[in-house]
Amino acid sequence: MFRHNRAKFLVLFALIAFVSAPAYAQDYPSRPLIIVVPFGVGSGADIGARQAAEKMRPSFKQLIVVMNRSGANGMNAASYVAKSTPDGYTIFYGSNSTMAAAPAFFKFVPYDPIKDFASVAIVNETAFLLLGQPGHTGTSVSAHMEKMRADPDFSIGGISTLYEMLDKMIRNATGAKHVYVPYNDQGKAFTDLIGKRITGVYASVSSAIPLIRSGQAHPIAVASTERLKSLPSVPTLMETYPDLALGVWNGFFAPAKTPQRVLESLSPHIFTAYRDPDVVKRVEEGGRSLHMGPDEADKFLRSEFVRWSELVRSLGIEPQ
């Protein structure tokens, strides 16, 4: 009798738990999705998020809005999403800059990448480029680095923690003494490069290729382990300076406590977008696709969090 009643109780308890689950978890998606991007229009993050949003809409069957919230090396946007309602309708288009490197790079970070977020998907990784002013051709990587050592007015701009990290790695490897200029907006950095107000810019491949093809900027080197298929004539930094490589991975993250069934419902829509031929072409121009769902993405994020802490310490970088 006791066992029979206990079994009935467990069934009833499970039924109550299911019925009382948040309605938004049961009928997801039922309203517009907001993807928050940590950098301005025209940045690599903005380009990636907007293309993904466009390709997600047919299967998601709801409006998808891309919101740009630049500032504080991407931390403004991350903090905004971390404090949002955990219902799966506001998500963050993050990277190793905001989700792994920032806590090691800065004394104050207004969120905890592990505790304040739930991973949805990790989707791609891409290389960084060092761009020079238009018409700046015929200079080898080593000759360019020599100018960075000798010219006190030589300046390079960048918009995120990762670009600043790459800049520090280049200084350590080459002895360069140039000025690093932080930007909140990639478009502004490009405008200053084209206008010859700065000497160089760090940029993702996706954001840089239009400028390269139009002749508005010249690629000096790519910070990848091998040359890119899309820019086969551009040398890697590693060809001159071994181990000098750094790139970015991107992914989607929801506020912590977002129901697991919402995460598992959302990630297939994201991967549908990243299988689209147009998206595949853009991703493969500068890197490769990654397909990590919620559980795998969470494990990956935790490992990256540790790896970047160790990397920052090994470079002798003091938190700012």
- Give domain status of residue 191, yes or no: yes
**Is 91 in the same domain as 226?**
no
In a domain, 320, yes or no: no
What Cα–Cα distance (Å) separates residue 169 from each residue in 36, 142, 172, 176?
Answer: 29, 15, 5, 10
Residue 138 has a pLDDT of 59
Q: State whether 145 and 117 are in the same domain.
A: no
Residues 6+ apart with CB under 8 A from 170: 145, 148, 176, 237, 241, 244
Residue type present at position 164: E
* Domain shared by 112 and 156, yes or no: no
Residue with tokens 């991703």: 283
- Same domain (yes/no): 175, 204: yes
Same domain, 141 and 278: no
Q: Both 224 and 263 in a single domain?
A: no
- 122 and 256 inside one domain: yes
Domain of residue 187, CATH code = 3.40.190.10
Domain boundary among 207, 239, 271: 239
Answer whether 82's CB lies under 8 Å from 256's CB.
yes
pLDDT digits (tens, 9 = 90+) for 190-226: 999 999 999 999 998 888 999 999 999 999 999 999 9
Q: Indicate if the pLDDT at residue 134 is higher than 50.
A: yes
Domain that holds residue 165: 127-239
With respect to residue 110, please indicate whether it lies within any of the assigned structural domains.
yes
**Does the residue 10 lie in any domain?**
no
| Residue 119, helix vs strand vs coil | strand
Local confidence band at 6 (pLDDT 50, 70, 90 cut-offs)? low
Q: Classify residue 7: in a domain, yes or no.
A: no
Query: To which H or E segment does residue 277 belong?
Result: helix 277-286
Do both 227 and 92 map to the same domain? no
Tell me which of 239, 260, 281 is where a domain ends.
Answer: 239
Of the three residues 220, 239, 258, the one that is the final residue of a domain is: 239
Write the pLDDT tens digit of every residue in 227-243: 998 999 999 999 999 98
Is 60 exceeded by the pLDDT of residue 7?
Answer: no
Is residue 77 domain-shared with residue 218, that is, in the same domain? Answer: no
Under a CB-based contact definition with an 8 Å cutoff, are residues 47 and 124 in contact? no
Residue 11 within any structural domain of the chain: no
Number of H helices, E strands in the chain: 13, 10
Model confidence at 137, pLDDT cuts 50, 70, 90, reads low
Kindly report, residue by residue over 149-185, the tens digit of the pLDDT.
888 789 999 988 899 999 999 999 999 989 999 998 8
Quick: pLDDT tens for 50-88.
999 999 999 999 999 999 999 998 999 999 999 999 999
- In terms of domains, do 113 and 26 share one? yes
CB 62 within 8 A of CB 127: no
Of 61-65, 135-139, 207-211, 294-298, the one with minimum mean pLDDT is 135-139
Q: For residue 81, what is the domain's CATH number?
A: 3.40.190.150
3-state secondary structure of 188: helix
CA-wise closest residue to 183 among 197, 173, 171 = 197
Give the H or E element holding residue 206: helix 205-213
In which residue are the tokens 């207004």 written? 110
Asked if 153 and 216 sit in the same domain, the reply is: yes
Same domain, 256 and 110: yes
Rg for the chain (alpha carbons), in Å? 22
pLDDT for 181: 95
* Residue 4 forms part of a structural domain: no
Pairwise pLDDT comparison (21 vs 252), residue with the higher score: 252
Mean predicted confidence (pLDDT) in 28-54: 95
How many domains in the chain? 2
Whether residue 118 lies inside any domain: the answer is yes
pLDDT at position 3 is 47
